[in-house]
A and B are shown apart, each in its own frame.
Chain A
Amino acid sequence: MADVLTYVLHYEGAFNKNSLGAVSEGAARASEIGGECHAVVVGGDDLSDELCQSLGAYGATKVFRAKGAEGLAQPVVDVMAKVVDEHGHNYALFGGGLLGFEIGAGLAARMHAGVTMEVTGVRAEDGKLVAERPILQDSKISVSRYQGDLGIIIGRINAFEIQERDGGSAEVVDVDVEYSDWSNKAKMVQRGEQRGADVDIEGADILVAGGRGLGKAENFKLAEELAGAFGGNSAVAATRAVVDAGWYPYAAQIGQTGKTVAPKLYLAAGISGAIQHKVGMQTSENIVAINKDAGAPIFEFSDLGIVGDLNKILPKLTEAIKTKKGG
């Protein structure tokens, strides 16, 4: 019985995207090794039957529900340890995010199991699951193989795609857990506080990044308007050169000395793509580059490159996107 147990985080009545990705991935992989995918949820009364059953749409056949503190890892370790003990799951799978790391690591200690972090791919091999993760600044892939009864897989942010299917509704099983002493020693005082209007660059889905090619500080307005047109979880980023020149704040800097990001879309305007910048954004899912120099290095690793004048292209692109979204 090669079952996979995933953890699903929830907040204000909705499940976390990365957790849903983990369920989808867990379901797909479990079926390849003759098992099922189950989920664990921990929280209060907002974990209604209906909400929990909906995880069936992503492939979970059972949902183990426990009453406990939300947003903290150690209580979940207690719950998952009990469920694995009683039901013998062979793999624990987590989507990217802070809690996934903490729970996965704690569970590895509790069950003396092998754990792999920053996983970008999972596959079946001879009836077992192996995990793949990038190493050495994403230049190589390492393959992890597990021994023992439990293997723990912690995904990289956005690594697992959400897949809805006609799985129907999952069975909800309530679990009674006696929490460890220490699990009660951390208390949530305030959860999910939004601070200021800044969008978190590292968490953004879409980044519009500007470089020297923008020409002057004022032209960052073009980047901001485009990010605004995309809407949602979008933000503006900058290269070191323009931050040094004072065109944009340091908090937005991407690169070797700066933030490392991997959004769904990285749109680079007026950026040459020198390696110092590349290492900060090379694992973005989709890279679009606009640059007037056809020989700019960025065109060697962009998915879509436009050789042209960003002063002409950005405003029109902004309009077109607004229309698409609005209309």
Chain B
Amino acid sequence: MASHNGSAPAPAESPPPVDSVREFVKQGLDSEDERIDVGVVIVGGGTAGLACANRLLQLLGDDSELMESLGEVPVAIIEKAKTCGGHNLSGAVMRPGPLQELFPDMTREDWRKERFAFGEVKKEAVYMLPNGKAKLRIPTPPPFKNHGNEVISVSSLARYQQRMAEEGGAYVLTETSATQLIVEDGRVLGVRSGDKGRGKDGEPLSNFEPGTDIGAKVTVLAEGCWGHLTGAAIKEFGLAENREPQVWELGVKELWKVPKPLDRVIHTIGPWPLRVASKYGQIGGTWLYPMKDEKSGDDLVSIGFVIDLDYRDATTSAHDLLQLFKTHPFVKEILDGGERVGWGAKALPGGGYWSMPKLTMPGALLVGDSAGMVDTVSLKGVHHCIKSGFLSAEAIYKSLKGGESLESYEQAVENSSIGKELYQVRNTRQPFSKGFIQGAPVVNLAIATKGKIPGGRLEWHRNDEEPMFIGDTRERYPKPDGKYIFDKLSSVYISGNATRDDAPNHIRVQKEVPREIAETWEWMCPAGVYEIPDDAPESGPVDVIVNYTNCVQCGAITAKGGRLTPPEGGDGPLYTLT
């Protein structure tokens, strides 16, 4: 391990012990009687994966010949949570088009009756927060114009989509993880499901059940942020060649039941509660969305904080920054008298257009967040997930029917609203890597010119290459009081997190890392997974304690020097309205 003599170490210098291709790519399928064969296997029962299933089953529903030719299980969805939606989390204000296209017979009132939509955006406001007391309303920049959009819960939407998929004939295998991509002769043949019943050190326990190979004509990787198999596929098939590296952001969200309904969608663009000086490298913002739960009549507020993961101050904690944000008087006013009813965290891909990998490979394709289809300027990705699922289904259908190459999907995405919207903001976020103050003018220019300026292709550099230093961001975090300001552990509790005591550790990090990296992980993780032992030296190598059973699988660790791998199926949070 390199010594640093005072210079700041980067997480990339202490890489996790993992070899994607060797570990997560399996050569060849098991024999027929050992494996399961399905028509199309979709890894990930989130918004995108289920949209693919929903559309594909609609098409197959009208084509019984093709449906039958796919066998007993035409479409299988592999989902590691206890139910689809259990691991899904987003803001979210969604552009309605793609969902209307997917379910044309539903009205928006129907959406709300199904309890995944919570109201059309009527009013909106964007604030700049110079400090913890004041706020300046600014005219709503175009990306934040949300009139006509709908506040939704992706967790709840996924549950609805799951039901529709099952009614359409899909097999949804919940509590099942996909741990390996099966490849042969340069072609994806399917995936392998995860083992169950391993102990703390990976040893098989008395009720050990090995995973099963699932062979499929087409494999859809819809794993969301930090796609486990997606990462392996990208390496195996060189899908990231000539692309910008992917970069990530971490969002922490709370759901509050409030006595007084919020009347508008609010975004704040900083700088408070972040530090403006560029040495901290902190770029982020917040949201407050009103939600009217038609079923219970409750008024809810979704409040969240998102930060780019290329920050440099090791003591940056998204969870605590959200708690700090709540201390602002205008937020207090909104949440006053309310009760926290939900909490969660999730990373999202922030690289945009230039960081998207090639979307297809022989036998498989990528949809949704796994493919990096998020517009982080307007904070919109849900409608792209749905659209990409929809387009992938059409490409798969054409391929199964007439042998057309799956590559038609790439062009379809490029020509669709996904390609157009992401292209427009392709260079809009990169300037912030220089810092909020330096970057803001260029970012504004990009927004004002609808992406014409700056031209060309602006770079991203990897999050884990940022040198980390131990700064003072932590000094501003408010103390938890259990009523308004919350600690990490009680937050993990209400996420519904459940993990078997003797489950094996699913997180890969290097054993001994510099103090700065250890602190980065300890502060970064919203669930309190990483802990520095009391007797660790103030400077010098630290053997970080990994409380992996707290993990809510947000994925941030993979951006900053570690690697999240899928735990045993069924483990992790059980989000309901996030």
Contact = CB atoms under 8 A, between A and B. Distances in A.
User: Are A and B bound to each other?
Assistant: yes
A275 B501 contact: no
Contacts of A253: 501
Contact of B501 (A215, A240, A274, A297): A240
Contacts of A276: 489, 492-493
Interface in B412-444: none
A295 B481 CA distance: 9
Interface in B478-504: 479, 482, 487, 489-490, 492-493, 498-501
Contact of A297 (B482, B500, B534): B482
Given A240-B501, A297-B490, 11 more contacts: A215-B534, A240-B549, A243-B501, A244-B547, A257-B499, A257-B501, A274-B490, A275-B493, A297-B482, A297-B487, A300-B482
A138 to B, nearest CB: 15
A15 interface: no
Contacts of A300: 482
A256 B494 CA distance: 12
A295 B489 contact: no
Contact of B489 (A215, A250, A275): A275
A274 B479 contact: no
Interface in B455-499: 479, 482, 487, 489-490, 492-493, 498-499
Nearest to A244: B547
A276 B547 CA distance: 13
A300 B487 CA distance: 14
Interface string B499-518: 11100000000000000000
Chain B, interface SS category: loop
A245 B479 CA distance: 27
A215 to B, nearest CB: 8
Contacts of B490: 274-275, 297
Interface in B330-387: none
Nearest to B533: A245
B482 A274 contact: no
Contacts of B549: 240, 244, 257
Contact of B479 (A240, A257, A258, A295): A295
Interface in B120-168: none
28 contacts: A215-B534, A240-B501, A240-B549, A243-B501, A244-B547, A244-B549, A250-B501, A253-B501, A256-B493, A257-B499, A257-B500, A257-B501, A257-B549, A258-B501, A274-B489, A274-B490, A274-B493, A275-B489, A275-B490, A275-B493, A276-B489, A276-B492, A276-B493, A295-B479, A297-B482, A297-B487, A297-B490, A300-B482
A274 B499 CA distance: 17
Contacts of B500: 257
Contacts of B492: 276
Nearest to A258: B501
Counting chain B residues whose Cβ lies within 8 A of the other chain, the interface size class is 10 to 19
A241 B492 CA distance: 15
A256 to B, nearest CB: 8
A118 B500 CA distance: 27
Counting chain A residues whose Cβ lies within 8 A of the other chain, the interface size class is 10 to 19
A33 to B, nearest CB: 40
Interface of A: 215, 240-241, 243-244, 250, 253, 256-258, 274-276, 295, 297, 300
Which 9 A-B pairs have CB atoms at the shortest separation, nearest pair first? A274-B489, A275-B493, A275-B490, A257-B501, A276-B493, A297-B482, A276-B489, A274-B490, A295-B479
Interface of B: 479, 482, 487, 489-490, 492-493, 498-501, 534, 547, 549
A22 to B, nearest CB: 35
A38 B463 CA distance: 75
Nearest to A255: B501
A255 B275 CA distance: 39
Nearest to B494: A275
B527 to A, nearest CB: 12
Contacts of B501: 240, 243, 250, 253, 257-258
A295 to B, nearest CB: 7
A114 to B, nearest CB: 30
Highest count of chain A CB atoms <10 Å: which of B492, B493, B498 = B493
A257 B493 CA distance: 12
Contacts of A297: 482, 487, 490
A243 B492 CA distance: 19
A257 B490 CA distance: 15
Nearest to A215: B534
A241 B529 CA distance: 12
Contacts of B482: 297, 300
A274 B490 CA distance: 7
A295 B479 CA distance: 9
Contacts of A243: 501
A244 B501 CA distance: 8
Contacts of A244: 547, 549
Contacts of A240: 501, 549
Contacts of A275: 489-490, 493
A297 B485 CA distance: 13
A244 B545 CA distance: 11
Contacts of A274: 487, 489-490, 493
B97 to A, nearest CB: 41
A253 B487 CA distance: 23
Contacts of B499: 257
A141 to B, nearest CB: 20
Contacts of A215: 534
Nearest to A250: B501
Contacts of B498: 257
A244 B549 CA distance: 10
A235 to B, nearest CB: 20
Nearest to B489: A274
Contacts of A257: 498-501, 549
A38 B314 CA distance: 70
A258 B499 CA distance: 12
B52 to A, nearest CB: 36
A256 B550 CA distance: 12
A275 B499 CA distance: 15
A258 B549 CA distance: 14
Contacts of B487: 274, 297
A257 B497 CA distance: 11
Nearest to A241: B547
A215 B534 CA distance: 9
A295 B480 CA distance: 9
A320 to B, nearest CB: 29
B345 to A, nearest CB: 17
A274 B491 CA distance: 10
Contacts of B489: 274-276
Contacts of A241: 547
A297 B487 CA distance: 10
A47 B547 CA distance: 55
A50 B549 CA distance: 57
A243 B502 CA distance: 11
B546 to A, nearest CB: 10
Contacts of A295: 479
B340 to A, nearest CB: 13
A179 B487 CA distance: 59
Nearest to A277: B489
B505 to A, nearest CB: 11
Highest count of chain A CB atoms <10 Å: which of B479, B498, B501, B534 = B501
